[in-house]
Amino acid sequence: MSADPSAAELRRRARGLRTLATHLDNTPVDDLLRWAGPDTWISARAEAIRTDLAAERHRLRAAADDLREHARWLDAQAEVAEAAAALAQGMPA
């Protein structure tokens, strides 16, 4: 565990973002898409809804990816903060 309080906060935030990303990833849109398929209904409107759902799934995945990317950046910032703190104390990071 990092002794630097700022690095610890950055890692806490990163965990929170990853948790949210996982939650978004776990949104049962794939299941919804399967049930919205031709076995359930077929019409122009159904097809439009399926197209919309696929787009929403893509947006959710993209949002989750953004969250994980931001989490990685926070982690990197945390490492930088921890290294800076170690240098300041004369210890290797």
Partner 1 sequence: MSQDLRYNPQRILSLQDRALAVVNHLDAATSHDPAASGALAVARSVRTRLCEGLLPTVRRIAASDAMLTWTAEGAAAGSLLDSASGGGWLTLLRAGFTSGPERALGLELAGDAAALAVAGEWNERDAAALSAALDAAPPEVLATFFTEVTGSGFAEYMLATSRRSPGDASGAPAAAAARTAFAHAAAQGLLPPSFMTEVIDRIAVEHAARADGDVSGLVLSYLFHGEQLPTDVLVEAGEALYRVETDPAISERIAKGHPEIFWRPVGAVSRFEHSTLTAEFLDEEQAEGRRPTIVGEAVLALDPMYALVDQLSRDGAAGRTLLTDADGARRVSSSFATYLFGTREVMGDGGRRVTAVAATAAAGPEIVVGAPDDDMNRAAAVASGFVNTFGWRHADVPVAERSVMSVSVATILGRHMPSVHQAALTTQEGDLRGGSTQTYSYSPFGDEAHGWRAQMDPDYLGNMVDIAVTSDDAMVVLGAATRQFETRVAQATAARVVQGELDGGALDAILGQAGRLEGMFIAHIGGHAQYVGRTRDEAAGRWIGALESAVSVPRSLVTTSVVMSAVIDGGTDGGFDALRKRFASAEKAAIAGAEKQAEATVDGLELVWQRAFVEAGALRLNSAVDFFDDEGNLRPWEDLDDFERDEFEAAVRNPSANGAPTLNTAAISAEVKLAQQRFFVPGGVKSVG
Q: Say what angle helices 5-25 and 44-88 make with each other, to 10 degrees.
A: 160
Map the footprint of partner 1 across residues 45-64, applying CB under 8 A.
45-46, 49, 52-53, 56, 59-60, 62-64
**Sole binder of partner 1 in the list 2, 8, 70, 77 (CB under 8 A):** 70
Distance separating alpha carbons of residues 9 and 15, to the nearest angstrom? 10
| Binders of partner 1 in range 8-27 (CB under 8 A) | 13, 16-17, 20-21, 23-24, 26-27
- Report residue 29 as tokens: 């849109």
Residues in contact with partner 1 by CB under 8 A are 13, 16-17, 20-21, 23-24, 26-29, 31-32, 35-36, 38-46, 49, 52-53, 56, 59-60, 62-64, 66-67, 70, 74
